[in-house]
Amino acid sequence: MTNPLLQDWQTPFRIAPFDKISDDDFEPALEAALESHLSEIDAITSCDFDPTFANTIEALEEAGSLLDRVLGVFFTVAGADSNPARDALQREFSPRLAAHFFAISSNKALFARVASVWENRDKFDLSSEQARVLMLTHRGFVRAGAALEGPDDSRMKAIKSRLAVLGTQFSQNLLADERSWYLPLGEDDLQGLPDFVIDAARSAGSGKNLDGPVITLSRSLIVPFLQFSPRRDLREKAFLAWQARGANGGETDNREIAAEILALRQERAQLLGYENFAAYKLETEMAKTPAAVRQLLTDVWEPAKAQAERDAAVLTDMMHGEGVNGDLAAWDWRYYAQKRRVAEHDLDEAALKPYFQLDRMIDAAFDCATRLFSLEFTRLEVPLYHADCRAWEVTRNGQHVAIFIGDYFARESKRSGAWCSAMRSQAKFPHIQSPVVINVCNFAKATPALLSYDDARTLFHEFGHALHQMLSDVTYESVSGTSVARDFVELPSQLFEHWLEVPEVLKTFATHAVTGEPMTQQLLDKLLGASNFDIGFATVEYLASAFVDIEFHDGDLPDDLMAKQNSVLAALGMPKAITMRHATPQFAHVFTGDGYSSGYYSYMWSEVMDADAFAAFAETGDPFDTERAASLDRHILSAGNSADPEELYRAFRGRLPGVEALLKGRGLSRT
């Protein structure tokens, strides 16, 4: 039988035929795709003509289309709907893929052709995008180690292969710990919990084939449990299990894996002539240097820490007032913060949540995209990789733009977190029809599916990434969509979150799940008035992780990873009742791949820009100003990495922003 992954897909918009693909198809398809890609590389290196942009750089851009297609499907299901067969395949192919791409990036004949085009670039009549692609391609080869020789070349290959194995192992260990732990709840343990938490706990229990409700380590379930459960003993038990992910000893412990990853990254950077991995990694980012990263984090840390300490004092008094003695603990913060939110803002999460129906929030995100960018969304009935998934065709002025897939519910087969990926990226080549973009979230599944306000922000955030992918309008795939500097990639996603806060959006789409009534003006005012509630906590837990990340990668390797983490936090004066948002053994952003390594700060770097960018709309008096939206589309969303990000932002805003807009937006002050 012909492998469906290797066939020409005769499906609507050539979406992967998930109903025809089995796990047995992946290995032979990957084998064939790897072989095809190497043949295409051989054709480039054996070309009899002198190197040109067309026969070398453009040919490289077109090579590997079959491999991209197969990997697009495989990594989608491996992350969002894993099973033992897919886990095993990922472990097997991670080092092979690393070796494959290293063989290409270290191919001396290929690099010689790329270097020739680079050295003779003034002789070619290149467009600005082509010049950018050439620069990035040449720089990518150099940074990958193409200029290394002999033992250094061999060692770099071994390092990359080992890092691929370790990154996969880190991710799978974390998922295994999240799957294996749960806290059964008796009927008495449900006292004080709102219905939506009880329903989610019962659904989680059913998902584990248990008769009663359970609390799992899914963020969408454990966070509201920590907010609402009056049982301090159960909160402590759940929180400590959540914090222990990846650090429970045995086969799933990630601490030694993380230490080996850091050592290999350091060695890799030094082979390339850099002092350490942070210097290597940040060279291509907007921040450029570890010093610039620390300056940004420090500018925000002090006012955030001061606010958190003031809040801790209030919460401690509340706790003592209930007769609970001692210090405020990490498993107490969310519980008393929720009580304070009700007391000070008369805003109860349980009363608020029925207004944030998943389907209505999806509609809200689509409506904002329609008003800003003239996009239309039409539901498609096509086979997808899981029954929970939904698909839409995206058009503009009657013209097809993209396919958007949403996969919103938590399940045991899905890794934690939320992300956006492209099963097919935008480019103007015959083998690429249009982008296929996926948002994956982990919302609690219930009927109806209700979100917290933070969940709704996550939905808008990931859809901002999706817009960056779908609206991309460049020629070359390597610079399309989100293929930008890590500290620029979060700008579109974090910027789109602002439209959730627009009053008219909430008035229209925040409708009650039972009555269908829109959110009242009084409740709307309370919600927006409390938008920065507990901002000290949120900022401190994030910044702590960002500081630890940069300190791990800038300087000497720590002898003891956890001791280093603790010393960084101690030097910061970390408030006792707040923990890192991602402690080292579960810091998937940093240890499952290089994406956010030395780069977790990028969310804050991008927030500096997104606060300033939304201010550009506010200055017009219309959050849906068509001229501003067109400029955002033209200079940011459609441009991808076709120009330097500073140039793109200046083209949109006329200048670069400072940190003041961010501090103002978070309600923080330096004084």
Structure token digits, residue 233:
């003993």
Residue 671 is predicted with a pLDDT of 60
Do residues 290 and 269 touch, judged by C-beta distance below 8 A? no
Q: At what angle do helices 219-228 and 195-207 cross, to 10 degrees?
A: 140
Q: How far apart are CA 358 and CA 466, in angstroms?
A: 17
Q: How far apart are CA 341 and CA 359, in angstroms?
A: 26
Q: Does the annotation count 462 as an active-site position?
A: yes
Residue 595 is predicted with a pLDDT of 86
Q: How far is CA 455 from the centre of its chain?
A: 14
Its sign, for the CA torsion 641, 645, 281, 141, is positive
The residue behind tokens 């909430």 is 506
Nearest of 81, 23, 19, 29 to residue 414 by alpha carbon: 81
Residue 366 is predicted with a pLDDT of 98
Let me know if domain 4-147 sits in CATH 1.20.1050.40: yes
> Left (φ > 0), alpha (ψ -120 to 50) or beta: where does 516 sit?
left
What is the bridge-based pairing of β-strands 436-443 and 399-409? parallel
Domain map of the chain by residue range? 4-147, 181-244, 255-338+533-665
- The CATH number of the structural domain formed by 255-338+533-665 is 1.10.1370.10
For the chain, how big is the Rg over CA atoms in Å? Answer: 25
Residue 1 is predicted with a pLDDT of 60
**Cis peptide before 503, with omega less than 30 degrees from 0?**
no
Q: How far apart are CA 544 and CA 381, in angstroms?
A: 44
Phi–psi pair at 382, nearest 5 degrees:
-135, 155
Q: Any idea what DSSP says for residue 414?
A: S
CB atoms within 10 A of CB 322: 10
Of residues 58, 349, 393, 462, which has the active-site annotation? 462
Question: Which residues of the chain, if any, have pLDDT below 70?
Answer: 1, 431-432, 670-671
Do residues 167 and 593 touch, judged by C-beta distance below 8 A? yes
